[in-house]
Amino acid sequence: MGRALADEELDSQAAALAKRLELDALIVTLGRDGARLVRPDGSAEHFTTRPRAVYDNTGAGDAVLAMVAVAVAAGAKLEQAVPLANIAGGLEVSKFGCVPITRDEIVNELRHGRAGRRKTHGVAELVAELNARRARGETVVFTNGCFDLLHPGHVELLEQAKSLGSLLVVGLNSDASVKTLNKSGDRPVRQQQDRAHMLAALEAVDYVVLFDEPDPGGLIEQVAPDVLVKGSDWAGKGVVGQEFVESRGGRVHLIDLVEGYSTSGELERIRANSESR
């Protein structure tokens, strides 16, 4: 009730101002609550925004104004420009200082922002997206695994992998694929849709794609990454896909594992605790 009354009063005053100044509309920014587009006749539309951690408000208003100007100049309606302005303002407050917001950042938010975020793709759809992003000069990093019980070691590896390029694709062994590997009979512990959901929730991960084969060789050839990442435990073992990636001018990067963390170790600890009760 309180918010509705506040909006009503805001709309009334904004409409009066728009009418007095002979404006087509007035955009009222509301911080984390988004923005309202108010017409001189009193009609209004509210546009929500994605909540963010605010590091610095410097330049947020300028980013909003600039995005509205660019969008309208490109032919967008105000109803289309305001959501873009919300994104630009939100990106600005998540940075320190007055930092330019790039077109690619806006596009990435539109595709992968929390509102309607979807990171898990089939191979054909994923390849099409990667081709479009490569055309803009982005660098594709790829790694793979079962990620059965997500732990800090996984997170560290994925964050380091993401730092090696513009975007990170994670190839995830399907349930059928996990069962072909040399693991205990009760693996995977979590089903593939749950494992994919957990990975997609990580900021470092841009895309998740499932594969049914025992190894990711075929998937790597379709994704064609610029950087192929594995853990340092693969040193000297022959990384699947290395020859293909390097033949295209790409590189393989081995990341040191965080000591004390492994899915097998986590499961052993859980079972031991369970048996001791």
Backbone angles phi, psi at 38, to 5 degrees: -115, 130
Distance, CA of 198 to CA of 17 (rounded, Å): 48
pLDDT confidence of residue 27: 95
Hey, is 48 helix, strand or coil? Answer: coil
pTM for the full predicted model: 0.58
One-letter amino acid at 166 equals: S
pLDDT confidence of residue 64: 92
Regions of the chain where pLDDT drops below 50: 1-5, 114-117
Mark whether 148 is an active-site residue.
Answer: no
pLDDT confidence of residue 54: 65
pLDDT confidence of residue 3: 47
pLDDT tens digit sequence for 87-135: 998 888 877 778 788 887 787 777 655 433 478 889 988 998 899 888 8
Domains, in order of start, for the chain: 2-112 (3.40.1190.20), 123-275 (3.40.50.620)
Backbone angles phi, psi at 227, to 5 degrees: -135, 125
Of 33, 62, 175, 215, the active-site residue reads 62
